[in-house]
Amino acid sequence: MTKKIVLLPGDGIGAEVIDSAKQVLDAIAEEYNHTFSYETHAIGGSAIDEHGTPLPDETTAACKSADAVLLGAVGGPKWDQNPSHLRPEKGLLGIRKALDLFANLRPIQGFDNLLHASPLKEEVVKGSDLLIVRELTGGLYFGTPSERRNNGHSVVDTLAYERAEIERIVDKAFQAASIRRKHLTSVDKANVLESSKLWREVVEEKKENYPDITVEHMLVDAAAMRLITNPSYFDVIVTENMFGDILSDEASVLTGSLGMLPSASLREDSFGLYEPVHGSAPDIAGQGIANPLAMILSAALLLRHSFNLDNEARIVESAVQNVLEQGYHTGDLNIIDGQKVGTEKMTERVVDYI
Protein backbone atom coordinates (compact mmCIF):
# COMPACT_ATOMS: atom_id res chain seq x y z
CA MET A 1 0.00 0.00 0.00
CA THR A 2 1.32 3.48 -0.91
CA LYS A 3 0.17 6.41 1.22
CA LYS A 4 1.07 10.03 1.87
CA ILE A 5 1.21 11.23 5.46
CA VAL A 6 1.57 14.87 6.50
CA LEU A 7 3.50 15.41 9.73
CA LEU A 8 2.67 18.50 11.79
CA PRO A 9 5.17 18.44 14.68
CA GLY A 10 4.02 21.74 16.20
CA ASP A 11 5.63 22.89 19.45
CA GLY A 12 7.34 21.61 22.58
CA ILE A 13 7.32 17.84 22.99
CA GLY A 14 5.05 17.60 19.92
CA ALA A 15 8.14 17.90 17.75
CA GLU A 16 9.97 15.27 19.85
CA VAL A 17 7.30 12.59 19.91
CA ILE A 18 6.27 12.93 16.26
CA ASP A 19 9.64 11.57 15.30
CA SER A 20 8.91 8.49 17.44
CA ALA A 21 5.65 7.89 15.59
CA LYS A 22 7.42 8.20 12.25
CA GLN A 23 10.01 5.62 13.29
CA VAL A 24 7.22 3.24 14.26
CA LEU A 25 5.39 3.77 10.95
CA ASP A 26 8.65 3.19 9.08
CA ALA A 27 9.16 -0.09 10.93
CA ILE A 28 5.61 -1.17 10.03
CA ALA A 29 6.14 -0.16 6.38
CA GLU A 30 9.31 -2.20 6.19
CA GLU A 31 7.89 -5.25 7.93
CA TYR A 32 4.61 -5.36 6.00
CA ASN A 33 5.70 -4.01 2.61
CA HIS A 34 3.97 -0.66 2.56
CA THR A 35 5.28 2.63 1.20
CA PHE A 36 4.58 5.65 3.36
CA SER A 37 5.83 9.03 2.17
CA TYR A 38 5.99 12.03 4.50
CA GLU A 39 5.78 15.77 4.19
CA THR A 40 6.43 17.98 7.22
CA HIS A 41 4.62 21.30 7.66
CA ALA A 42 4.38 24.05 10.25
CA ILE A 43 1.52 24.63 12.69
CA GLY A 44 1.05 26.46 16.00
CA GLY A 45 3.69 28.61 17.67
CA SER A 46 6.54 27.49 15.44
CA ALA A 47 4.42 28.45 12.41
CA ILE A 48 3.85 31.89 13.94
CA ASP A 49 7.61 32.31 14.27
CA GLU A 50 8.37 31.08 10.74
CA HIS A 51 5.37 32.26 8.74
CA GLY A 52 3.60 34.86 10.87
CA THR A 53 0.45 32.73 11.23
CA PRO A 54 -0.48 29.64 13.30
CA LEU A 55 -1.95 27.94 10.22
CA PRO A 56 -0.13 28.74 6.95
CA ASP A 57 -2.16 28.12 3.74
CA GLU A 58 0.45 25.65 2.52
CA THR A 59 -0.10 23.54 5.66
CA THR A 60 -3.85 23.35 5.03
CA ALA A 61 -3.29 22.58 1.33
CA ALA A 62 -0.79 19.81 2.14
CA CYS A 63 -3.19 18.20 4.64
CA LYS A 64 -6.01 18.30 2.08
CA SER A 65 -3.91 16.39 -0.44
CA ALA A 66 -2.66 13.78 2.06
CA ASP A 67 -4.16 10.42 3.05
CA ALA A 68 -3.75 11.17 6.76
CA VAL A 69 -2.20 13.70 9.14
CA LEU A 70 -0.16 13.16 12.31
CA LEU A 71 -0.03 16.12 14.67
CA GLY A 72 2.24 16.56 17.71
CA ALA A 73 1.00 19.40 19.91
CA VAL A 74 0.79 23.19 19.80
CA GLY A 75 1.34 25.99 22.28
CA GLY A 76 3.81 27.22 24.86
CA PRO A 77 4.62 30.16 27.13
CA LYS A 78 6.48 31.95 24.33
CA TRP A 79 3.17 32.80 22.62
CA ASP A 80 0.95 33.17 25.72
CA GLN A 81 0.77 36.95 25.46
CA ASN A 82 0.02 36.97 21.72
CA PRO A 83 -3.20 38.60 20.43
CA SER A 84 -5.97 36.07 19.73
CA HIS A 85 -5.34 35.69 15.97
CA LEU A 86 -1.72 34.81 16.75
CA ARG A 87 -2.41 32.08 19.27
CA PRO A 88 -0.97 28.60 18.54
CA GLU A 89 -4.32 26.94 19.42
CA LYS A 90 -5.92 28.79 16.49
CA GLY A 91 -3.85 26.57 14.25
CA LEU A 92 -5.32 23.42 15.78
CA LEU A 93 -8.94 24.59 15.75
CA GLY A 94 -8.40 25.97 12.23
CA ILE A 95 -7.07 22.75 10.75
CA ARG A 96 -9.84 20.62 12.35
CA LYS A 97 -12.42 22.94 10.85
CA ALA A 98 -10.73 23.22 7.45
CA LEU A 99 -10.71 19.43 7.19
CA ASP A 100 -14.30 19.03 8.52
CA LEU A 101 -13.30 16.51 11.20
CA PHE A 102 -16.56 15.88 13.05
CA ALA A 103 -15.74 12.64 14.88
CA ASN A 104 -13.26 12.50 17.74
CA LEU A 105 -12.26 9.00 18.83
CA ARG A 106 -10.47 8.46 22.12
CA PRO A 107 -9.57 4.91 23.09
CA ILE A 108 -8.83 4.46 26.79
CA GLN A 109 -7.19 1.34 28.06
CA GLY A 110 -6.08 0.32 31.54
CA PHE A 111 -2.71 -1.31 30.74
CA ASP A 112 -1.99 -4.10 33.24
CA ASN A 113 1.43 -2.74 34.14
CA LEU A 114 0.09 0.74 34.80
CA LEU A 115 -2.87 -0.20 37.00
CA HIS A 116 -1.31 1.29 40.11
CA ALA A 117 -0.49 4.52 38.24
CA SER A 118 -4.23 5.31 38.28
CA PRO A 119 -5.78 6.99 41.33
CA LEU A 120 -8.60 4.46 41.09
CA LYS A 121 -8.40 1.01 42.71
CA GLU A 122 -6.52 -1.54 40.64
CA GLU A 123 -9.43 -3.99 40.64
CA VAL A 124 -11.68 -1.28 39.20
CA VAL A 125 -9.30 -0.25 36.41
CA LYS A 126 -8.24 -3.79 35.49
CA GLY A 127 -9.59 -4.95 32.14
CA SER A 128 -10.99 -1.58 31.13
CA ASP A 129 -10.73 -0.96 27.40
CA LEU A 130 -13.17 1.53 25.98
CA LEU A 131 -13.55 3.96 23.12
CA ILE A 132 -15.29 7.31 23.38
CA VAL A 133 -16.70 8.65 20.12
CA ARG A 134 -17.38 12.35 20.59
CA GLU A 135 -19.19 14.64 18.14
CA LEU A 136 -16.73 17.46 17.53
CA THR A 137 -18.25 20.17 15.34
CA GLY A 138 -21.77 20.76 16.68
CA GLY A 139 -23.77 21.08 19.89
CA LEU A 140 -23.42 23.58 22.68
CA TYR A 141 -19.88 24.66 21.76
CA PHE A 142 -21.04 26.03 18.41
CA GLY A 143 -24.76 26.63 18.80
CA THR A 144 -26.64 29.08 16.64
CA PRO A 145 -24.47 32.24 16.40
CA SER A 146 -27.51 34.55 16.00
CA GLU A 147 -29.06 33.20 19.20
CA ARG A 148 -25.91 33.26 21.27
CA ARG A 149 -25.84 36.32 23.52
CA ASN A 150 -24.63 37.82 26.75
CA ASN A 151 -25.93 41.29 27.66
CA GLY A 152 -24.73 41.16 31.23
CA HIS A 153 -28.16 40.25 32.60
CA SER A 154 -29.14 37.28 30.54
CA VAL A 155 -27.16 34.80 28.55
CA VAL A 156 -28.11 32.28 25.89
CA ASP A 157 -26.21 29.27 24.55
CA THR A 158 -27.97 26.92 22.17
CA LEU A 159 -27.55 23.21 21.69
CA ALA A 160 -28.39 22.64 18.04
CA TYR A 161 -28.02 19.54 15.89
CA GLU A 162 -29.21 18.67 12.42
CA ARG A 163 -30.38 15.06 11.98
CA ALA A 164 -27.61 14.53 9.40
CA GLU A 165 -24.96 15.59 11.91
CA ILE A 166 -26.20 13.01 14.40
CA GLU A 167 -26.47 10.31 11.74
CA ARG A 168 -22.85 10.64 10.63
CA ILE A 169 -21.38 10.47 14.15
CA VAL A 170 -23.64 7.57 15.13
CA ASP A 171 -22.56 5.70 11.98
CA LYS A 172 -18.90 6.23 12.93
CA ALA A 173 -19.59 4.76 16.36
CA PHE A 174 -21.37 1.70 14.96
CA GLN A 175 -18.47 1.14 12.56
CA ALA A 176 -15.99 1.42 15.43
CA ALA A 177 -18.04 -0.98 17.57
CA SER A 178 -18.17 -3.52 14.75
CA ILE A 179 -14.38 -3.97 14.86
CA ARG A 180 -14.36 -4.09 18.68
CA ARG A 181 -16.54 -5.98 21.17
CA LYS A 182 -19.80 -4.96 19.45
CA HIS A 183 -21.35 -3.17 22.41
CA LEU A 184 -22.45 0.43 21.85
CA THR A 185 -23.62 2.74 24.63
CA SER A 186 -25.25 5.94 23.43
CA VAL A 187 -25.01 8.59 26.13
CA ASP A 188 -27.51 11.45 26.33
CA LYS A 189 -29.87 13.34 28.63
CA ALA A 190 -33.11 12.33 26.94
CA ASN A 191 -35.19 12.90 30.07
CA VAL A 192 -34.69 16.67 29.70
CA LEU A 193 -33.16 17.60 26.31
CA GLU A 194 -34.88 17.73 22.92
CA SER A 195 -31.53 17.20 21.21
CA SER A 196 -31.12 13.94 23.14
CA LYS A 197 -34.55 12.73 22.06
CA LEU A 198 -33.60 13.13 18.41
CA TRP A 199 -30.23 11.55 19.19
CA ARG A 200 -32.00 8.44 20.60
CA GLU A 201 -34.32 8.27 17.60
CA VAL A 202 -31.35 8.29 15.20
CA VAL A 203 -29.52 5.58 17.18
CA GLU A 204 -32.67 3.42 17.13
CA GLU A 205 -32.99 3.84 13.36
CA LYS A 206 -29.32 3.20 12.65
CA LYS A 207 -29.15 0.03 14.72
CA GLU A 208 -31.25 -1.79 12.10
CA ASN A 209 -28.17 -1.55 9.83
CA TYR A 210 -25.88 -3.17 12.40
CA PRO A 211 -27.75 -6.24 13.64
CA ASP A 212 -24.72 -7.80 15.36
CA ILE A 213 -24.15 -4.83 17.66
CA THR A 214 -25.77 -4.59 21.09
CA VAL A 215 -27.05 -1.05 21.67
CA GLU A 216 -28.20 0.67 24.81
CA HIS A 217 -29.01 4.22 25.90
CA MET A 218 -27.62 5.66 29.10
CA LEU A 219 -28.17 9.03 30.75
CA VAL A 220 -24.97 11.04 31.02
CA ASP A 221 -25.09 11.30 34.82
CA ALA A 222 -25.37 7.53 35.16
CA ALA A 223 -22.60 7.05 32.59
CA ALA A 224 -20.30 9.43 34.49
CA MET A 225 -20.72 7.33 37.61
CA ARG A 226 -20.37 3.96 35.93
CA LEU A 227 -17.21 5.12 34.12
CA ILE A 228 -15.26 5.19 37.36
CA THR A 229 -17.12 2.50 39.33
CA ASN A 230 -17.20 -0.13 36.57
CA PRO A 231 -15.24 1.07 33.50
CA SER A 232 -14.87 -2.41 32.02
CA TYR A 233 -18.64 -2.40 31.48
CA PHE A 234 -18.11 -0.18 28.41
CA ASP A 235 -16.90 -0.93 24.90
CA VAL A 236 -17.87 2.03 22.69
CA ILE A 237 -19.56 5.19 23.97
CA VAL A 238 -21.05 7.66 21.49
CA THR A 239 -22.15 11.09 22.62
CA GLU A 240 -22.54 14.76 21.71
CA ASN A 241 -19.76 17.31 21.92
CA MET A 242 -19.89 18.56 25.52
CA PHE A 243 -20.81 15.24 27.14
CA GLY A 244 -17.93 13.69 25.20
CA ASP A 245 -15.51 16.38 26.33
CA ILE A 246 -16.33 15.81 29.98
CA LEU A 247 -16.53 12.00 29.88
CA SER A 248 -13.24 11.63 27.99
CA ASP A 249 -11.33 13.71 30.54
CA GLU A 250 -12.96 11.70 33.30
CA ALA A 251 -12.02 8.43 31.61
CA SER A 252 -8.42 9.55 31.13
CA VAL A 253 -7.72 8.91 34.84
CA LEU A 254 -7.99 5.19 34.10
CA THR A 255 -4.60 5.14 32.34
CA GLY A 256 -2.56 6.96 34.95
CA SER A 257 -0.87 9.40 32.55
CA LEU A 258 -1.76 11.85 29.83
CA GLY A 259 1.29 10.51 28.02
CA MET A 260 -0.59 7.28 27.20
CA LEU A 261 -3.69 8.65 25.46
CA PRO A 262 -4.08 8.80 21.67
CA SER A 263 -6.88 10.34 19.64
CA ALA A 264 -8.27 10.35 16.12
CA SER A 265 -10.35 13.05 14.46
CA LEU A 266 -12.27 11.70 11.49
CA ARG A 267 -14.80 12.61 8.81
CA GLU A 268 -16.99 10.47 6.53
CA ASP A 269 -14.24 9.18 4.23
CA SER A 270 -11.12 7.42 5.47
CA PHE A 271 -9.10 10.62 5.98
CA GLY A 272 -8.17 11.53 9.55
CA LEU A 273 -5.97 13.62 11.81
CA TYR A 274 -4.27 11.79 14.66
CA GLU A 275 -2.76 13.40 17.75
CA PRO A 276 -1.96 12.62 21.36
CA VAL A 277 -4.45 13.91 23.92
CA HIS A 278 -1.67 15.70 25.81
CA GLY A 279 -0.37 19.18 25.01
CA SER A 280 3.08 20.53 24.23
CA ALA A 281 4.28 20.07 27.86
CA PRO A 282 6.62 23.10 27.89
CA ASP A 283 7.85 22.10 31.35
CA ILE A 284 9.68 19.05 29.97
CA ALA A 285 10.24 20.09 26.33
CA GLY A 286 13.75 19.68 24.95
CA GLN A 287 14.86 17.24 27.64
CA GLY A 288 14.28 14.02 25.72
CA ILE A 289 12.09 12.59 28.48
CA ALA A 290 8.59 12.91 26.96
CA ASN A 291 6.50 9.74 26.83
CA PRO A 292 6.13 8.94 23.10
CA LEU A 293 3.45 6.26 23.61
CA ALA A 294 0.38 8.50 23.16
CA MET A 295 1.82 9.66 19.83
CA ILE A 296 2.78 6.11 18.84
CA LEU A 297 -0.71 4.85 19.74
CA SER A 298 -2.10 7.70 17.62
CA ALA A 299 -0.09 6.32 14.69
CA ALA A 300 -1.75 2.94 15.36
CA LEU A 301 -5.15 4.63 15.06
CA LEU A 302 -4.00 6.14 11.77
CA LEU A 303 -3.16 2.68 10.43
CA ARG A 304 -6.54 1.35 11.55
CA HIS A 305 -8.90 4.13 10.56
CA SER A 306 -7.28 5.82 7.56
CA PHE A 307 -5.43 2.89 5.95
CA ASN A 308 -7.71 0.06 7.09
CA LEU A 309 -4.65 -1.83 8.41
CA ASP A 310 -6.18 -3.26 11.57
CA ASN A 311 -3.57 -6.01 11.86
CA GLU A 312 -0.68 -3.54 11.67
CA ALA A 313 -2.44 -1.28 14.20
CA ARG A 314 -2.72 -4.23 16.59
CA ILE A 315 0.99 -4.97 16.15
CA VAL A 316 1.83 -1.42 17.26
CA GLU A 317 -0.55 -1.72 20.23
CA SER A 318 0.96 -5.06 21.25
CA ALA A 319 4.42 -3.53 20.96
CA VAL A 320 3.41 -0.81 23.44
CA GLN A 321 1.86 -3.38 25.76
CA ASN A 322 4.99 -5.49 25.50
CA VAL A 323 7.51 -2.76 26.36
CA LEU A 324 5.38 -1.83 29.39
CA GLU A 325 5.32 -5.49 30.44
CA GLN A 326 9.09 -5.53 30.21
CA GLY A 327 9.11 -2.68 32.70
CA TYR A 328 10.26 0.13 30.41
CA HIS A 329 8.62 3.42 31.26
CA THR A 330 9.12 7.18 31.00
CA GLY A 331 9.19 9.45 34.04
CA ASP A 332 5.55 10.56 33.82
CA LEU A 333 4.39 7.04 34.73
CA ASN A 334 4.25 6.50 38.43
CA ILE A 335 6.12 3.20 38.43
CA ILE A 336 8.77 2.16 40.92
CA ASP A 337 10.00 -1.10 39.39
CA GLY A 338 11.42 -1.63 35.93
CA GLN A 339 13.66 0.65 33.94
CA LYS A 340 13.09 4.36 33.50
CA VAL A 341 14.03 5.47 29.98
CA GLY A 342 13.79 8.58 27.79
CA THR A 343 11.86 9.22 24.56
CA GLU A 344 14.48 7.76 22.26
CA LYS A 345 15.03 4.53 24.18
CA MET A 346 11.30 3.94 24.62
CA THR A 347 10.80 4.39 20.87
CA GLU A 348 13.68 2.04 20.13
CA ARG A 349 12.08 -0.67 22.32
CA VAL A 350 8.76 -0.35 20.47
CA VAL A 351 10.49 -0.45 17.07
CA ASP A 352 12.53 -3.50 18.10
CA TYR A 353 9.37 -5.37 19.02
CA ILE A 354 7.81 -4.59 15.62
For ligand ATP, the closer CB: 281 or 351: 281
What span, in angstroms and rounded, lies between the C-alpha atoms of 150 and 155? 4
> In the bound complex, what is the minimum distance in angstroms from residue 95's beta carbon to ligand ATP?
15
312 binds ligand ATP (CB under 6 A): no
290 binds ligand ATP (CB under 6 A): yes
102 three-state secondary structure: coil
- Strands ordered across the beta sheet of 183-188: 35-40, 2-10, 68-73, 272-276, 262-266, 103-109, 129-135, 236-239, 183-188, 214-219
> In the bound complex, what is the minimum distance in angstroms from residue 333's beta carbon to ligand ATP?
8
Task: Return the residue of 103, 281, 319, 324 that touches ligand ATP, per CB under 6 A.
Answer: 281
252 binds ligand ATP (CB under 6 A): no
Contact 101, 137 (CB under 8 A): yes
108 binds ligand ATP (CB under 6 A): no
**Under rule CB under 6 A, which residues in 61-80 are in contact with ligand ATP?**
75
Q: Check if 245 is active-site.
A: yes
291 binds ligand ATP (CB under 6 A): yes
Contact 304, 310 (CB under 8 A): yes
The answer to whether 245 is annotated as binding is yes
Task: Return the residue of 252, 280, 306, 347 that touches ligand ATP, per CB under 6 A.
Answer: 280
> In the bound complex, what is the minimum distance in angstroms from residue 70's beta carbon to ligand ATP?
15
10 binds ligand ATP (CB under 6 A): no
β-bridge mates for residue 186, sequence order: 217, 238
Buried b (16+ CB within 10 A) or exposed e, 265-294: bbbeeebbbbbbbbbbbbebbeeebbbbbb
> In the bound complex, what is the minimum distance in angstroms from residue 160's beta carbon to ligand ATP?
27
Q: Please give the sequence-ordered ranges of beta strands (E in DSSP) within 179-285, or none if there are none.
A: 183-188, 214-219, 236-239, 262-266, 272-276
What span, in angstroms and rounded, lies between the C-alpha atoms of 144 and 167? 19
Q: Check if 188 is active-site.
A: no
253 binds ligand ATP (CB under 6 A): no
What span, in angstroms and rounded, lies between the C-alpha atoms of 234 and 129? 7
- Binding site for Mg(2+): what residues are annotated? 221, 245, 249
- Binding site: what residues are annotated? 76-89, 96, 106, 134, 221, 245, 249, 279-291
- Binding site for substrate: what residues are annotated? 96, 106, 134, 221
- Binding site for NAD(+): what residues are annotated? 76-89, 279-291
